[in-house]
Structure 1
Amino acid sequence: MFRREIPDVTLKTRVRDDALGGDNPFRWQDLKLRDEFAGRRVIVFSLPGAFTPTCSNEQCPAFERLHDEFAKVGIDGVYCIAVNDAFVMYQWGLKLGVNKVRLLPDGSGHFTRRMGMLIDKDHLGFGLRSWRYAMVVDDNRITHWFEEPGINDTGADSDPYGETAPEHILRALQDPAPAMGAEELAAT
Structure 2
Amino acid sequence: MTIQVGDTLPDVELRVMGKEGPEAVSTQALFAGKKVVLFAVPGAFTPNCSETHVPGYVTHADKIKAKGVDSIICTAVNDVFVMDAWGKTQNAEELIMLADGMGDFAKAVGLEKDLTAVQFGVRSQRYAMIINDGKLELLNVDEGGADKSSAETILASL
In the alignment, what sits opposite 1:146? 140
Using the TM superposition, give the Cα deviation of residue 36 of structure 1 relative to its aligned residue in structure 2, in angstroms.
Answer: 1.7
Give the aligned residue type for 1:121. Answer: L
Under a length normalisation based on structure 1, what TM-score does the superposition of the two structures give? 0.79
Partners of 1:171 and 1:104 lie apart in 2 by 24
- Displacement over 3 Å in runs of 4+: none
Partners of 2:42 and 2:122 lie apart in 1 by 9
Using the TM superposition, give the Cα deviation of residue 70 of structure 1 relative to its aligned residue in structure 2, in angstroms.
Answer: 0.7
Partners of 1:112 and 1:69 lie apart in 2 by 27
Task: Report whether the alignment pairs 1:82 with 2:76.
Answer: yes
Partners of 2:155 and 2:145 lie apart in 1 by 19
In the alignment, what sits opposite 1:102? 96
Task: Report whether the alignment pairs 1:137 with 2:131.
Answer: yes
Using the TM superposition, give the Cα deviation of residue 137 of structure 1 relative to its aligned residue in structure 2, in angstroms.
Answer: 0.4
Deviates more, 1:41-50 or 1:69-78: 69-78
8, 11, 16: which one aligns with 1:8: 11
Using the TM superposition, give the Cα deviation of residue 13 of structure 1 relative to its aligned residue in structure 2, in angstroms.
Answer: 3.0
The structure having more radius of gyration, on CA atoms, is 1
In the alignment, what sits opposite 2:66? 72
| Per-residue deviation, residues 80-115 of structure 1 (Å, max 9, x unmatched) | 010000011011111112110111000000000011
| Per-residue deviation, residues 126-160 of structure 1 (Å, max 9, x unmatched) | 111110011000000001111113xxxxxxxxx42
Q: Which runs of 5+ in 2 are unaligned?
A: none
Partners of 2:17 and 2:130 lie apart in 1 by 25
143, 149, 155: which one aligns with 1:164: 149
Q: How many residues align?
A: 155
Give the aligned residue type for 1:59. Answer: H
Coordinate RMSD, CA, aligned: 1.1
Q: Which runs of 5+ in 1 are unaligned?
A: 18-25, 150-158, 174-188
3-state secondary structure, aligned to 1:66: helix
Ranked by relative contact order (alpha carbons within 8 Å, sequence separation 6 or more), the top structure is 2
Deviates more, 1:7-16 or 1:128-137: 7-16
In the alignment, what sits opposite 1:36? 30
Identity rate of aligned residues, in percent? Answer: 34
